[in-house]
Each structure stands twice: as structure tokens, then as C-alpha cells.
Amino acid sequence: MASETTSEAPNGGASARAEISPEAGVVVTCEVRGTDDPASAAKAAADAAGLAVAKHMGALPKQAIAGEGSYQGIVGQSQPMLDLFRMLERIKGSSATVLITGENGTGKELVAHAIHDLSNRAKSRFVATNCSAFNDNLLESELFGHRRGSFTGAVADKPGLFEVADGGTFFLDEVGDMSPALQVKLLRVLQEGVFMPVGATEQSKVDTRIVAATNRDLTAMVKEGSFREDLYYRLHVVALKVPALRERRDDIPILVAHFMARLAERDGRQKVLSQRAQQHLMAHGWPGNVRECENEIERLWVLSGDEGVIGEEHLTPTIRNGTRPGPGPRSSAGGEAGPGMVQISSRTLPEAVETLERAMILDGLKTAKGNKTRAAEALGISRRNLIRKVQAYGLDGAWNDKGKA
Ligand SMILES: Nc1ncnc2c1ncn2[C@@H]1O[C@H](COP(=O)(O)OP(=O)(O)OP(=O)(O)O)[C@@H](O)[C@H]1O
Ligand SMILES: [Mg+2]
């Protein structure tokens, strides 16, 4: 059966279009446009191919395929992420201080990079440091630099990171972990752009934009007196909150597809997730947010070895056992077994794709009580495309309004 599953993936200036034909193998055409750079061409081609396979398997909503669903490398299409992208767009010309908040692994550092890349400081450096990684003395020297002889081991003058980032952006991660003494010094940089290197007798001046991040509740810390209120307001000029993944569950499928496509590009091969594996991933609570999702996909990719379809058995037990996927496609599609199971025993990927596609279409029609418009919408394909597939698979009349499949 011929399929017209196509996918567009823009990557910088490059964009690629991949088309799947199960008859001929998997991806048969992959056009790349708008670049002479082999690296971005390969990236765009791999993305398009990965998305086309995922779309073909019914894994993705339409928006992700159209190359929407990401902004400056930040994948997301849920309302909270669209609001965040809108804010980033709004502040892109400014050098205002930004405070990024959000739980661990939500993408705060990715957002900080986007802020820098979108600013007119993009050609200068983006320098990052983590305030919780050093003790007070070391952090002070790291941030502001030191003069030779100012402490044992200070054998030469060393510039601080504020100076290294002069003209660019300085990302202060975990700013909530900064000691009160250093908070005062940071406040001076923010107010006057000046600081005193350790052991120096004169102040240094810099033009560094500060983007800070924390997973802590700074307003609560201000109330209890462990974070300076004046510093809080200085940092809070623009405040961005990166939502937890459980608050934007619509993003799970495109994040999964994104990480799969990246691995596909890295390894030069395609894989897809079984329907059950997808259901478990969709149902999981993701307390570790996007980082947990990224790690899980990489784990699945590695553990599934040479298998082209990644089964649920490779999932981390907490994800596999903690969630109960609802009944998925089932029987009468040929090759499937048991409620909620699509047993893909086909020898080739095209056969596996057909088996799953047929089962998903049947399930989609059943859920939509035979309404093709709604079924097509749920499956992420056009109504015309659905009708063609229904005919090709001989599923006409497979569902009638008495609920019989
Ligand atoms: N929306 C996203 N799209 C694509 N990749 C993402 C997204 N959000 C996070 N990631 C990836 O997830 C990982 C964690 O992101 P990041 O380090 O930016 O999170 P963080 O909020 O700074 O985490 P922490 O609080 O632990 O420092 C990174 O590998 C990042 O590339
Ligand atoms: Mg971080």
C-alpha cells in the first residue's frame, strides 16, 4: 500500500521533506532545501525522516510535523509554552535582566541560551556558572576574578566571569543558593555595573547582561529573610516561568519525537515506539520533567538494540508499572493480540507499520463511533486520507453505529 505520509522539518536555513512509502522500504524521498551546509542538511533530513516515521505511526499531532512546535530549539506547542515563546519574542531586542524560574529539568538553561541568541549580544559570549557548585570564596573569585597574591594559590591575575562575559550574557544558575554576602556584591553589579575583584584596590566595570535562574521559591525566601528583597526586584525585571511537563502534557509526544529524531540522526537509523510504549510515556507524570523524558528515550533507544519497534518492556519500571494505558488498537486488524495490545510480529518495518496503522484506524473509528471527521482529527490525518486508507485496508463497514467492530 502506498502512503503519502510526509513531513517537513526546518533546521536553521535548511528545510527537508521526507515521504514514506511502505512498499519501497521506509523513507524514499528526502529533499533538502535552503542550505549548502552538509551538517544542517543532514540534521533537517534526519528530523524530517524521524517525524515522518513517527507521524506514520500515528505518534504525532499535526503541528509537530509542520515544523511548528519549537522555538529557538525549545520544543513545545502547549499553551504555556506558546506564552513563553511569545514573551521571548517580545524581549528579544532588550538587554533587560531576566529571572527564569521552574522545576529541575524543565529547560531553564535552554531558555537562557535562547534569550542570548535572540539578543543583540548574540555575537558576544554566553557564560554560565552554577552558584551552588562552589563555596563562597571560590564563587566570589569565579564571578569577580582575583588579583595575584590575594590568597594562597592566586599566582596570577585572573579575570572573573562577569568580565569574560563583557558585552555578552552571564547566566547565573541556581541564584537562590547565593550567600547573603555575595548577594550584596551581585546587587552592585546589577545597579551600577561595577564590582571589586578579590584583592583589588579599584573597581572594574562591565557591560554584562544578567540572566538568572532558580528552582527555588525566591518570594518565600525573601519573606523568610534568606534572599535580599532589593536583589529580588533587580533580578525580576523580566520574569519567565518554565512550566513543569505535567502542566503541558500536550508537549510529551513532540518531545518524544524530537529526542527520537535526534538519536536517529546520531545513529543514522530509524526506530519507532510501539503503541503501548507511547501510551505509557503519555500517561507518566514526569517528575523529572524534560530531562527525565530525554533520558528515558535515550535509554529505550539503547536497550532496544537492533529492534526497529521499541516495546514497552524496555521502559523504566516506574514508568511501565506506574501507568495503565487505556485499551489501544486491537484485534481484527490481523496480527494483533489481546485488549490494548498490538503485537507486531512482522518481519519488516513496512509490514509492522501497516499492522499498526490498520489497528489504529480501526480503533480511531471505534472511538469516534464511526464519525470519519472526528476519527481523522484524532489520528492526525486528513479526512480524505483516512477514507483512502479505510478503503485500502478493506475496513469499509468495519464499524457500524451499533458499536460492532
Ligand atoms: N522544551 C525543550 N525542548 C527540547 N529539549 C529540552 C526542552 N526542555 C529541556 N530540554 C532538554 O532537557 C535537558 C534539561 O534542560 P535544562 O538543563 O535546560 O533544564 P534546567 O531547567 O536548567 O534543569 P536544572 O534545574 O536541573 O538545572 C537538556 O538536555 C535540554 O536540552
Ligand atoms: Mg539548569
Q: Is the CB of 76 under 6 A from ligand 1?
A: yes
Burial (CB count <10 Å: 0-12, 13-18, 19+), residue 128:
middle
Minimal-distance CA residue to ligand 1 atom 16: 107
The answer, yes or no, to whether any atom of ligand 1 lies below 6 A from the CB of 132, is no
Q: What are 146's three cell numbers?
A: 582575583
Cα(108) to centroid(ligand 1), Å: 6
Q: What angle do CA 50, 307, 286 make, to 5 degrees?
A: 65
Give domain status of residue 291, yes or no.
no
* Residue 59 placed within a domain: no
> CB within 8 A of 128, min separation 6: which ones?
109, 112, 170, 171, 173
CATH assignment at residue 229: 3.40.50.300
Q: Is 108 in the pocket of ligand 1 (CB under 6 A)?
A: yes
Q: Are residues 234 and 353 in the same domain?
A: no
Distance CA 72, CA 36 (A): 21
106 and 220: one domain? yes
Q: In the listed set 209, 242, 275, which residue is the last one of a domain according to the structure?
A: 242
CB 61 within 8 A of CB 253: yes
Q: How many domains does the chain have?
A: 2
Note whether 237 and 101 are same-domain residues: yes
CA 166 – ligand 1 centroid, Å? 25
Of all protein residues, the one whose alpha carbon is nearest to atom 23 of ligand 1 is 105
Alpha-carbon distance of 9 to 260, in angstroms, equals 14
pTM score: 0.68
Atom of ligand 1 nearest to the CA of 110: 18
End residue of a domain, out of 242, 267, 293: 242
Instruction: Name the residue with the closest Cα to ligand 1, atom 28.
Output: 291
Residue 232 lies in a domain: yes
Among 197, 226, 242, identify where a domain stops.
242
Asked whether 248 lines ligand 1 (CB < 6 A), one says no
Give the residue numbers spanning the domain of 362: 348-405
Kindly state whether residues 102 and 229 are assigned to the same domain.
yes
What is the residue-level pLDDT of the chain in tens, covering all 405 positions? Answer: 334 455 555 555 566 665 655 444 444 355 666 667 666 666 666 555 555 555 555 444 433 433 468 999 999 999 999 999 999 999 998 999 999 999 999 999 999 999 999 999 999 999 999 988 888 888 888 899 988 887 888 888 888 899 999 999 999 999 999 999 999 999 999 999 888 888 888 888 999 999 999 999 999 999 999 999 999 999 999 999 999 999 999 999 999 999 999 999 999 998 999 999 999 999 999 999 999 999 999 999 999 999 889 999 999 999 998 754 444 333 333 333 333 444 444 455 666 677 778 778 888 888 888 888 888 888 888 888 888 888 887 777 666 544 443
Q: Is residue 95 part of a domain?
A: yes
State the cell numbers at 339: 485488549
Q: Which of 290, 296, 298 to mutate to test the pocket of ligand 1 (most atoms within 8 A of CB)?
A: 290
For residue 24, being part of any structural domain is answered with no
Quick check: is 144 in a domain? yes
Sign of the torsion formed by the C-alpha atoms of 309, 315, 320 and 322: negative
What is the CATH classification number for the domain harbouring 356?
A: 1.10.10.60
